[in-house]
Amino acid sequence: MKDELTIYMDFKMTSAQSAELAAIAEGLKAIKNNDFWDAISLTEMYWSGENARAFIDKMKLAFLRLEGNISKVDAAAQTVSDIAEQTKDAELAALQLARQG
């Protein structure tokens, strides 16, 4: 059985990993909200014709995929955080019961 220090160390490590996932999602959001639309606007400004339209359509499809992936990374970060908290609480409760028994 884990001791209290190990439980808190595991929780801290998992929380840091969750925060790293959340930071990755934030970085992707910044790309999506700034760079992506700038690239589309510049493309539309300086390139016209059928190939330009096809390229822009592909960029917009990539944008939608990026949005979906951001949502998945956000959800994963939240899930990891929730599970870490629940695991920590359960392990501390089990440790307390073991000490009483």
Asked if residue 80 lies in contact with residue 18, where contact means CB atoms within 8 angstroms, the answer is yes
DSSP state of 1: -
Pull the structure tokens for residue 57: 């359509």
**Tens-digit pLDDT profile for residues 40-99:** 889 999 999 999 999 999 999 999 999 999 999 999 999 999 999 999 999 999 999 999
Look up tokens 């908290």; give the residue. Answer: 85
Pull the structure tokens for residue 35: 């760079």
The pTM is what? 0.80
Question: pLDDT-derived band of residue 27, with 50, 70 and 90 as boundaries?
Answer: very high
Look up tokens 């209290």; give the residue. Answer: 4
